[in-house]
Structure formats: C-alpha cells, structure tokens
Amino acid sequence: MAVAAPQTRHAEHEGPPVRPTGRRRWTAGGWLRVAWIVPLAFLLVPVLVLALRHWLSYPSSPFSVLNPLDDSGWNDDFWRFAKQDLQPLITTWTVVVPFAFLAGIGGFDYWAYWISGRPTRPEDHSGHGARTWRDYFRVNTDHKVIGIQYVVTTIIFFIAGGLLAMFLRAELAKPGMQIVDPQGYNGLFSVHAALMIFLFIIPAFAGLGNYVIPLMIGAPDMAFPRLNALSFWLLPIAGLMMLSSYLVGPFAAGWTNYVPLAVQQPEGNLFFQMGVQWAGASSILTALNFLVTIITMRAPGMTFWRMPLLVWANFATSTLVVIATPFIAGSQFFILFDRVLHTNFFDAGEGGYPLGYQHIFWFYSHPAVYIMMLPGFGIVSEVISVFARKPIFGYRLMALSLMAILILGFSVWAHHMFVSGMAAWLRVPMMVTTMIIAVPTGIKVFSWLATLWEGRIRFKTPMLFALGFVSMFVIGGLSGVYLGSIPIDIHTSDTYFVVAHIHYVLFGGSLFTIYAGFYYWFPKMTGRMYNEALGKLHFWLTFIGFNATFFPMHWIGVRGMPRRVADYDPQFANWNLIISIASFFLGASTLVFLYNMLVSWRSGEPAPGNPWRALTLEWQVSSPPPVFNFDEIPQVVGSPYEYGVRGARHAVLNGAPTTQGREAAPMEESVP
C-alpha cells in the first residue's frame, strides 16, 4: 500500500526570500561567505600541518631547513622539503577545503542552527524554488532546482571529459608520441574515465531522477530536501578535485587505479582517491533520499505495481548505490593509507595482497555498471511506451528483471579478474553468473521490441535515442557475453575489444538513454520545446560518429592492440587514424546538442504541460511545474501505461482524471 504524503498547503508559506543586508551578508550562507572561508581554510591547512610536523620533529619538515641567516639557498631547500610534504598537505586540503566550502555556501546552516540551539525556520521555504537565475547558484531545497543544478553541472563535466577524449584521439591518430608524453597520456584517459563515470553518467541519472521521481509518484518534494541540496553541492567539489589534479600532474593509473601502481604514482593520484570519496558521498546520500522518497512518499493509490518503470529502476539503482559504493570508498581509503600513512594493505613485500584491492574495487565497480545502466532502462521504458503509444510489454517482468539484475549484479565482479591470478576455481562460477545476468537483460530488450509491435511509432528525438540505445546496447551486451566467456576473455581482456565493449555499454547504452531523457523532459524542465530538427540531426550525427569510432576498436583489439597504450604497433596506424577522425566528428556532433539546448532554453517555443500526451504524473502539471508540484496530492487509480485502453486512468488530479490516449489535449497551463 502506498503511504499518503502529508498534505500541507505549502504555497501559503511561500514568500520572497529575505536576503541579509550590510555586514550580515558576509556571514550569511552564500558565495560571499565562501569567498573568505575557503581561502582561510586553504591557508590554515599548511600552517597546521607543517607546524604539527615540525613540532613532532619530522625530518622532512621544511622549517627544519629554514635558516634565516643563510639567505642564499634556503629558498630551494624549503621548497624541496615542502614538496615532500605535499602528500599530507594535499590529503588535508582535500578533506578540509570542501567542508569549508559547504559550510560557506550554507549547506550545513539548518543543522548548525539546530545543534547550537538557535531558532530554525522549518516552515520558511525561502530557499525553495527558483525565482531568478541566481537561485540556481544557491543552496536550494526544491528537487526541481536541484535536478537542473545536477543536469547542468554534469553536462559541464561531460564537456570536460569529452575534450580530454579528443586529446587522447589526437595523440593516437599517429604512431609515436606527438602531443603529450606517456605519463600525460595515461593522465588523459584516467581523468576522462573518472569524469565520465563519477561526474557525468552516475550524477546525470541522479539529476534526472531528482527532477522526475517526486513528480512521477505524486509527491511535493523529496523526503529530505536539505540532504538533497547537500548531495548536489558535493558534486562540483568532486569534479573540481579530479580536474585540479592537473595542478600537480594528473592521476595516471586508470580509473581502476590498480595497486601497486597507484601507490607508486606521484601526488596527483590523491586527487582521484579523495574525489571518489566526495562523489561517492554525493551518490550515497541521493540514493538514500530516493529510497526513502519512493518507499514513503508515494501518492495514495500508487502501489509498487503502479509505479512507472523509471521509479522502479531508480529504486533498484539506489539499493545498488547504498550497498556497493562504500566498497570503492574503502578501496581508495586503503590506497590513501598505503600512500600517506605507510600502511601495507597492498604491498606484497610487506605481507600485503595486491589482488585484494581488485576484489574490493570490482565488488563496487561491477554493480556500478548497473548503477549506470538501470536508470537508463527506466528512461527507455518511459520513452518507448509513450512514443509507440502502447502499454509497456510485460510490465511486471520488466520490474522483476530489474530486481534480478540488482541481485545477480553482486555475484559477477570477478569476471573482471579472469586473468588476474586470483583463485582459479572462482572463474567458472563467475562466468556462469555473468552469463545468467544476460537473461534478465535480454528480457528487457525483447520486451521493448514487443512494445514497438503494433504500436504507432513517432520518431521524435527521445524515441530515436531510445531506439538507438536498444540496438547499440544489444551489441554491447553481446560483446559482454564474449568477455564473460573465460577462454575468449583470456585473449581479449585488456585489449581495445574491451574499450569497444565499454563504450557500446556506456556511450551507446548509458549516454544514449541520458540524451533520450534530456530531450524527453526538456519541455518539462525548462517550459520550452527544443528544436526537433536539430535534435534529429544530433541523433544521426552521434549515431554514425559513435559507430565509426567504436566499432573498429573491436577488430583492432582482437587483432592484438592492448588498451591504455600511448603508442602502438604501426600495423594499427590506419585504423587508429580512421577512429580518430570519426571521434572528432562525434565530438563535433555534441555541439549541435549544446546549441539546441542553450538556444531552446532561451527562446524555444513555450511548452504545453503535456507535449507528448503521456500518462505519467509529471506530465499532468504545468511546464515547469509549480513550486510544490501539485496543488493537491493526486489519487492514483491505475497503471501508468494504459495507452490505447479506453476509459483507463492512471490518476485523478484536482478531481479530474488524467489525460490519456485519444482524448488527450495538451494542457495549456501558463508558465509562472
């Protein structure tokens, strides 16, 4: 049974936010407070760390060589020693400065007031909802504002990660080294992967979910709005941290960061270890929020079996995040301890076990593949059903297969380690589970195809991306079956075949679904329509560029080109040149997307409430929705996918049934 959400008329409490004036502006939460608190924390850290080391008589304290009488060479010595001290300094900075930033922006204000006994303002929603563009740069508790903050932030990191990939391909266009040195090259692909995974795919889904889930289940907001705001602000911290590794030389041991290489690497590696902590904290908090929201805040009548599949998908994903993400946090903390505190978790010479790292890492990072896939499955289920004008085929099996993937996902991690030298007996059981997980995935693909069957398919941009996803993901899934078979994996592991496979899964899979989601909910989020012709152009350029870039990688991988190499055998020169040219084409296609989004957001046609004639609840309110989503909590009375069923209803809203099927007329509600 769904639990009724507490039904308060928030709108009455709503007033224009009271901004402090005069000197109070410097102490109130916001960018002015950030402007002094962050530099202060930044300066305080070296003073404390160096003073502590000096006081404890650490030999490498730069103050120990500081001799004011000798003004000739102490400067050099000082900086040489200071550089030895860089690791503890960076570690402390990456812990303290983000907290200072969060405190400055006001992420902890409510709790700080509450703890210190100062009056809190529980019913003051001055930080809720966006009235001007400036509200998007403040701590805001409205899930719709946070959703847009997430999406825009992740697109920025997507561009950064994409540019790194362009440099990568430029270097690989010819054999030999032309643009960067080998360490720089290793940095390029490491930062590219880390940004795309931790700062784009995972949080982009979190952002879309943030915007859409409360609307879809008929809730006024997320269960913990203040926690929601905090989880967003953790994200730019993680991204800037990973990028700022370029200040000391980027982390260059791959996003997998295998030990002992990771321990041996220069200081830049610390930025990855700490960046993952902040990104991980962000996704764990968001996942908890999703779980509590989905379990407790569904509108009356919204039983689990009436939830849209996107909600199911985020339910499964959030469970994965909460269980799995602490494992990568732990694995990176162990490396941090090995590096900074000189522990020996992974040092074979001191009794450590390097393969132990891989087990912990993949115990997160394989479920992470599903964290990056399941929300996409949800988006595609919504889009295909709406644009084929048909109920989703086999709804219950679709939901159950998500749960099956969730459970099986924890039993396949060691298929990344078939050639690693781990316990040999573990390989065959892991191969069997890996093969079996293809079954629920297959069920989903077949059900989407069956949903198309006898539909009335409209090829709008979201639908093109959803169909592109299904076809590309089938290739990525089948190459996954190749890699799941141990004998084939022995040959293809760590080759370009794997590079091709993961890009078919994460680009042709996740990214296509993210694009589908961006286009599909763009009218809802911005209140404006995107340009359909440009959207279609973007799809076709991306689809062609993607296949031209990544399909040949299967071949060069099987033929013998290892991955993560800055230079390669001249026999692969022609193909690499072709791939590089295709990748620039692919990169350029993103410009069409960005142009379309920016121009349409500014001056697109105003969007009606329900431009796609969809049944789910988020389309039953205006575009963009009112601050508290629904004037009255809707009453859910049926399935969300009853296209073509005469007289079927999903929900009763404001006393009227939701629009559906043929009777649907776009609800022309004005934009506030």
Partner 1 sequence: MRRRAVIQMIGIGFLAGIVTGGVAFFIPWLPDQASEEAKAIDAAYWFVVIICAVIFALVAGVSLYSCWKFRAPPDDEDDGSPIHGHTGLEIYWTAVPTILVTAMAVFSGFALAAAEDLPDKHGTIQVTAQQFAWSFTYPELDRTEGELVLELDKPMQLVLTAKDVIHSFWVPEFRMKQDAVPGVETTVPITPIKLGTYDVICTELCGLGHSVMRARARVLSAEDYAKWAAGDSGDSAETTTGEGGDTSTEGR
| Structure tokens belonging to residue 122 | 């529980």
- CB of 658 within 8 A of CB of 620? yes
Contacts (CB under 8 A) with partner 1, residues 235-274: 252-254, 258-261, 264
C-alpha to C-alpha distance for 97 and 502, rounded to whole angstroms: 34
Contacts (CB under 8 A) with partner 1, residues 548-607: 555, 558-560, 562-569
| Residue window 409-428: x/- pattern of binding to partner 1, with contact defined by CB under 8 A | ----------xxx-----xx
Contacts (CB under 8 A) with partner 1, residues 379-398: 388-391, 393-397
Nearer of residues 106 and 391 to partner 1, judged by Cβ: 391
Peptide linkage before 429 cis (omega within 30 of 0): no
Please count the other Cβ atoms lying within 10 Å of the Cβ belonging to residue 595.
13
Applying CB under 8 A, the span of 238-246, 375-383, 438-446, 535-543 interacting with partner 1 comes to 438-446
| Residue window 632-661: x/- pattern of binding to partner 1, with contact defined by CB under 8 A | ----------xxxx---------------x
Nearer of residues 395 and 593 to partner 1, judged by Cβ: 395
Classify each residue of 634-659 as buried b or exposed e, where b means 16 or more C-beta atoms within 10 Å of its C-beta.
bbbbbbbbbbeeeebbbbbbeeebbb
Crossing angle for the helix pair 202-216 and 512-526, to the nearest 10 degrees: 50
Please count the other Cβ atoms lying within 10 Å of the Cβ belonging to residue 631.
12
| Three-state DSSP string of 434-446 | HHHCHHHHHHHHH
C-alpha to C-alpha distance for 641 and 644, rounded to whole angstroms: 9
Nearer of residues 533 and 594 to partner 1, judged by Cβ: 533
Nearer of residues 54 and 389 to partner 1, judged by Cβ: 389
Nearer of residues 44 and 443 to partner 1, judged by Cβ: 443
For the CB of residue 345, give the shortest distance to partner 1 in the complex, in Å: 13
For the CB of residue 368, give the shortest distance to partner 1 in the complex, in Å: 19
Instruction: Give SS3 for 644.
Output: coil
For the CB of residue 544, give the shortest distance to partner 1 in the complex, in Å: 16
Contacts (CB under 8 A) with partner 1, residues 346-375: 348-349, 352-355
What burial class does residue 181 get, using C-beta atoms within 10 Å of its C-beta: 0-12 exposed, 13-18 middle, 19+ buried? exposed
| Per-position DSSP letters for 313-366, written without gaps between them | HHHHHHHHHHHHHHHHHHHHHHHHIIIII---SS-GGGT--HHHHHHHHHHHHH
Applying CB under 8 A, the span of 200-208, 228-236, 475-483, 529-537 interacting with partner 1 comes to 475-483
For the CB of residue 183, give the shortest distance to partner 1 in the complex, in Å: 4
Contacts (CB under 8 A) with partner 1, residues 540-559: 555, 558-559
Nearer of residues 353 and 601 to partner 1, judged by Cβ: 353
Nearer of residues 66 and 170 to partner 1, judged by Cβ: 170
Contacts (CB under 8 A) with partner 1, residues 498-537: none
| Residue 662: partners with Cβ closer than 8 Å, 6 or more residues away | none
C-alpha to C-alpha distance for 31 and 330, rounded to whole angstroms: 32
Does position 181 interact with partner 1 (CB under 8 A)? The reply is yes
Applying CB under 8 A, the span of 125-133, 278-286, 478-486, 574-582 interacting with partner 1 comes to 478-486
Nearer of residues 109 and 642 to partner 1, judged by Cβ: 642
293-to-225, 326, 377 alpha-carbon distances in Å: 10, 21, 20
